[in-house]
Structure 1
């Protein structure tokens, strides 16, 4: 609890803006969902009988919020459930095969109840799922929280809500996917007087001026509680959607600030996190956000738009006109977090299908850290976006590369995730994973075989490694994170002819949280033999404060890739046991 020295107002949620309702096709077939949930949603009351959600949700109205929530106002929870179950409906993505556990924590008007503390709602909802006696969802490993307290931006001190998530994550082995928060307030674009002048500016000039305006507001656009959590994954929104070119032309009066660049949306909250850690951890699709005019004259003032047909993610919507099969469009970090949770679920499904009991028999903590590592593993900075941030925020001196990277990761974290690469195999790359536990001041070695087909090939190739863990926390100490793990780079990387990639957070910056991800690239021919391998070492550093007398779970993912060399996967698979089948897209 905070010291009793002041009173804060009750938490409030920032409602999503949605638009352009449309009816679903009358003849659409929605597959059924079976199996106990491994994913839970804490959100507003959903329309559980929507055709896209019927038979897919286990709704546990633990706090009696459903009766007061008008069906027509059940926007946010319905949209998040739709995104997690089916993805963006503008894409033909597979639906999740398991049911989803849903606990409403927002009631009327998609707002938190006035007579309950949000932290208490979250605590009761999570502990009810995993309590020893009569758990409501005993298999849940992933919890989606597409919520944030608009009255509590992160200013260096961890909020009670974030501290709760860290404690629950460590206690139960749960991966919390949390939205970074949205800042939809108007802001000025000083060089421009009118929207027509702004729209007429060709790229990269428009993107440069937009980023310049946003960079002046960094201090006011910080993460919203509880997204500063250190054990959870914080998700920002990237300007990505699947809107067709024909529908994109319908964005009259709204301007795309960054097209064709892929980067963080203007409204997406910015890092860093606690103790200068990388936050947001990742970015996922949150629609290609446009800007619309608020005022013009002495200066042009604009604000980010909500989801709409020309720039949004298509999701289930509350009924209207007596019909229940409506859809509309959403956007922002809430949607991005839901897609991150969905991706983590699909990673779990892929591992369960490939490894069966060998994976399922792992402890909840070990499976959750594997999902955490693999979710971040494919994240990467788009080169044009990173270069723009460096040019605008500087510093201009190339020797100040650490500060340059610091500015990039405020916007991009570890980067934008490729969900398909995180889930599916490819013939020219191989991803290895390992799970384990570490006692105080111990280390583990993980050997990764190198396919001989890469030998002598003067082609672009890479090694990527991501380490994730769950730390006990010390709320009364400044260090807070009581356990730090390190990933020691192997000496054999020099023989593999790769060097640390430039487009990634600085190694010191990336080691402040509970995820550490590095990439090494090269294009000179490696010299390999039939037994060549690289050895990564996961090491537990001396505990901060009092010694932690418990084993700490970790997950490690390593990928070796050489695009165009189709034998990489098969040769890597032949050197490990048990054999894993190739899963094509």
Structure 2
């Protein structure tokens, strides 16, 4: 039973049983013991005193600008607490700006109530805005609680917060600066001109307060010699942002850390100030494209690429792209500047051109969102100077699925959106980025799969000097590079919008099909012929330590410059025309180049997602909604993933680097005879469960390896105001009715239930006491959180595979297929 995978054995369509109610038995028991009032006073009195000083500084700052009344944003970080401060906020007169669930490393003052003290501790971060009166009341209640550990009736949440308080501090300039490397950003800009910065404001509940914040910040920007380009609000995700032009001197002050010289980073209105920039790795020109495959794409597109403007007359792309450019970004770029957009369109159509493959069967829709930035030295493709990502995403998705008000939707057939763009100024730090929140809202609203690149971190610091790595060879060098990546974690976190929970986030393997490419002088291969994750690839985890990136894919090998004595970091070398990397169409309109990083890796996954959409349309026994196809596509993408056995990764980062693994099984190509993959799609409501039953083949009573894989995926609505954020929490337990499966392989069980994908693999090597005529069952449950689902159902999909070792000669596919066909007309699918 060794027949290869083939289209004659496509993924099978299954059914889910009707929903039944389920009673939640979840209980929240204390995880830690808390210190008393005396110890909390010792720990935190100085921090509350710092709040008073910070408020005084804010009074002076506001007075100097003749601006609005002074306020202070205060951050409370609690361990093992889930208090609701709503009533306390009303009583004290402060505004809750943000609440985020977190997980922290253990703290000796908060010992865990378990033997394993190394486990992370859940908690919550509350950001609140206080005026002078609220500040005075807060300090009075703090003093009262320290003395008696009691507070008046109605203030129990504040009492609990004080008891569990790990830290309290003002939101200051360093918070507002996010993690932008201002020195590096400044180095890539043209001098003696003005440059754009992005300012994210705290989203205030009152429109009047939002108006006041805009006016105050406009005044601050003008006083520093700048001007406001745009201001937008996306109420659905709580985003309030501004783009502004500022003098080079302002950026120089930020690079020096001279915050006193830049008033915008001192304003209480401001949540973040960051630079919007991109970092793409593209080689010199290689060879000419040659003669393309003569077969042309047909039918409506199912994949939309959001990127730069592509060169549409390249022989490899001609008649294979549909470009929708309502902002006329083509008019802002010459042909030779369209590097990234052309490269990503090329991957979406062809994959890696070093590997002979057929082109995409359908045209690819490209909606340009990037244009060359004239203020950068190399004309880097970025968002327009006046554009803010959340507002742009809202506009683009409405164009695709609703129309722009003057015409109908341009992307009704689109199911997959590819976004190989990230914001280096917004690395994930536990707080969901506004860009990610927007994608989560839009993907759930319109029912689409969004594939996002994890982001690239170009510079790799090396403790002990960079030459210590380059001097090594073989696996020792690969291990040293991996150690450097692990030691730099978490400063190499996901770049927005890769933190989106509904998105499929893709990291990059140091892998391509370019063959043996000698590094030559002044370059070296960091992997040294070992299989590693590309060192530029951003690392997870995601929201509440969920698995991120979801997947990794070939992102090309990135060679590094041979460091000089005294260098403390490794930096990628300019890739030569012979590679290595992912081979793509070039912006000159006729030749080929190489690129590497998470951008082509994400485009590779998006390409496979589009192929899966076609498979689903072919195998479904009735028309499906876009959301159902999207959920099923997302499930099948992850279902084919496994962590490569030969992948070298540092134990300290593990799944943070590779997620669920690479696409070891390309399910759009079908199944082998000794396996069967079944996909089911449906909807589920709060406190409901649905059962997927899979028939078994004969021949399982033999001793030998049987592998069972299950993947659950859904698109969750979100509530940006709520600390839990995700409204729909779906999960499955271990399947029943086959045999005792033991512990799942490859994944962290808890982390795999915190996003919108759950994936598990089990293997047994014993005889199974069941066979044809029997079935095993997997039960999916849904519980609501973050304010609930309000009666709305959630689209979900489950993919299940049974694989039997070929030497057992079990025709798994045919036997399961026959039994499924016999059930047609029985049961409920949606």
Alpha-carbon distance in 2 for matches of 1:474, 1:448: 35
1:303 aligned to 568, 571, 592, which one? 571
Q: CA deviation at 1:253?
A: 3.6
Residue 438 of structure 2 corresponds to which residue in structure 1? 164
Q: CA deviation at 1:225?
A: 0.5
Residue 376 of structure 1 corresponds to which residue in structure 2? 638
1:220 aligned to 468, 472, 491, which one? 491
Alpha-carbon distance in 2 for matches of 1:72, 1:363: 40
Q: Secondary structure at the match of 1:103?
A: strand
Residue 235 of structure 1 corresponds to which residue in structure 2? 506
Contact map agreement 2:453 2:599 (CA 8 A) in 1: yes
Q: CA deviation at 1:348?
A: 1.5
Contact map agreement 1:62 1:125 (CA 8 A) in 2: no
- Cα deviations across residues 218-255 of structure 1 (Å, max 9, x unaligned)? 0210100111001111110011211223xx23554433
- Write out aligned runs for 1:149-548 (5 A): 149-188=423-462, 190=464, 193=467, 197-198=471-472, 201-203=473-475, 205-245=476-516, 248-297=517-566, 301-305=569-573, 308=576, 309-319=578-588, 324-353=589-618, 355=619, 358=621, 361-385=623-647, 388-390=649-651, 393=652, 407-418=653-664, 420-421=666-667, 423-456=669-702, 458-493=703-738, 495=739, 498-502=741-745, 504-548=746-790
Q: Secondary structure at the match of 2:270?
A: coil
Q: Secondary structure at the match of 1:367?
A: helix
Q: CA deviation at 1:427?
A: 1.3
- Whose radius of gyration is greater, 1 or 2? 2
Residue 147 of structure 2 corresponds to which residue in structure 1? none
Alpha carbons of 1:46 and 1:196: their partners in 2 closer, same or farther (altered >3 Å)? closer
Residue 569 of structure 1 corresponds to which residue in structure 2? 813
TM-score, normalising length from structure 2? 0.63
Contact map agreement 1:462 1:498 (CA 8 A) in 2: no
Q: CA deviation at 1:490?
A: 2.2
Alpha carbons of 1:196 and 1:46: their partners in 2 closer, same or farther (altered >3 Å)? closer
Contact map agreement 1:15 1:76 (CA 8 A) in 2: no
Contact map agreement 1:439 1:552 (CA 8 A) in 2: yes
Alpha-carbon distance in 2 for matches of 1:253, 1:341: 35
2:795 aligned to 547, 553, 565, which one? 553
Q: Does 1:104 find its partner at 2:368?
A: yes
Q: CA deviation at 1:547?
A: 4.4
Alpha-carbon distance in 2 for matches of 1:420, 1:259: 27
Alpha-carbon distance in 2 for matches of 1:364, 1:218: 38
Residue 17 of structure 2 corresponds to which residue in structure 1? none
Contact map agreement 2:728 2:783 (CA 8 A) in 1: yes
Alpha carbons of 1:492 and 1:213: their partners in 2 closer, same or farther (altered >3 Å)? same
Alpha carbons of 1:553 and 1:295: their partners in 2 closer, same or farther (altered >3 Å)? same
Alpha-carbon distance in 1 for matches of 2:291, 2:439: 42
Q: Secondary structure at the match of 1:342?
A: helix
More divergent stretch after superposition (542-551 vs 343-352): 542-551
Alpha-carbon distance in 1 for matches of 2:553, 2:810: 28
Q: Secondary structure at the match of 2:329?
A: coil
Q: CA deviation at 1:439?
A: 1.4
Alpha-carbon distance in 2 for matches of 1:370, 1:547: 21
Alpha-carbon distance in 1 for matches of 2:530, 2:506: 19
2:344 aligned to 77, 80, 85, which one? 80
Alpha carbons of 1:158 and 1:206: their partners in 2 closer, same or farther (altered >3 Å)? same
For these two proteins, the number of residue pairs brought into alignment is 547
Alpha-carbon distance in 2 for matches of 1:81, 1:369: 24
Contact map agreement 1:482 1:543 (CA 8 A) in 2: yes
- Cα deviations across residues 152-188 of structure 1 (Å, max 9, x unaligned)? 1111111111111001001100100000000001422
Alpha-carbon distance in 1 for matches of 2:460, 2:427: 17
Contact map agreement 1:378 1:422 (CA 8 A) in 2: no
Alpha-carbon distance in 2 for matches of 1:2, 1:414: 35
Q: CA deviation at 1:75?
A: 0.3
Contact map agreement 1:307 1:313 (CA 8 A) in 2: no
Q: Does 1:123 find its partner at 2:400?
A: no
Alpha-carbon distance in 2 for matches of 1:435, 1:15: 38
More divergent stretch after superposition (50-59 vs 74-83): 50-59
Residue 46 of structure 1 corresponds to which residue in structure 2? 310
Alpha carbons of 1:138 and 1:568: their partners in 2 closer, same or farther (altered >3 Å)? same
Q: CA deviation at 1:530?
A: 1.9
Q: Secondary structure at the match of 2:693?
A: strand
Q: CA deviation at 1:506?
A: 1.5
Q: Secondary structure at the match of 1:559?
A: strand
Residue 399 of structure 1 corresponds to which residue in structure 2? none
Contact map agreement 2:289 2:591 (CA 8 A) in 1: no
Alpha carbons of 1:182 and 1:227: their partners in 2 closer, same or farther (altered >3 Å)? same
Alpha-carbon distance in 1 for matches of 2:352, 2:595: 10
Q: CA deviation at 1:579?
A: 10
Q: Secondary structure at the match of 2:798?
A: strand
Alpha-carbon distance in 2 for matches of 1:255, 1:111: 29
Alpha-carbon distance in 2 for matches of 1:295, 1:38: 48
Contact map agreement 2:470 2:563 (CA 8 A) in 1: no
Unpaired segments of 5 or more residues in structure 2? 1-200, 204-212, 214-268, 373-378, 825-830
Alpha-carbon distance in 2 for matches of 1:10, 1:129: 29
Alpha-carbon distance in 1 for matches of 2:597, 2:485: 17
More divergent stretch after superposition (459-468 vs 255-264): 255-264
Alpha-carbon distance in 1 for matches of 2:775, 2:581: 45
Contact map agreement 2:726 2:785 (CA 8 A) in 1: no
Q: CA deviation at 1:39?
A: 0.9
Unpaired segments of 5 or more residues in structure 1? 394-406, 581-585
Alpha carbons of 1:306 and 1:162: their partners in 2 closer, same or farther (altered >3 Å)? farther
Contact map agreement 2:674 2:804 (CA 8 A) in 1: yes
Alpha carbons of 1:46 and 1:471: their partners in 2 closer, same or farther (altered >3 Å)? same
Q: Secondary structure at the match of 2:508?
A: strand
Q: CA deviation at 1:575?
A: 1.2
Alpha-carbon distance in 2 for matches of 1:251, 1:143: 38
Alpha-carbon distance in 1 for matches of 2:465, 2:681: 53
- Cα deviations across residues 292-316 of structure 1 (Å, max 9, x unaligned)? 224324x663223465534201100
Q: Secondary structure at the match of 1:240?
A: coil
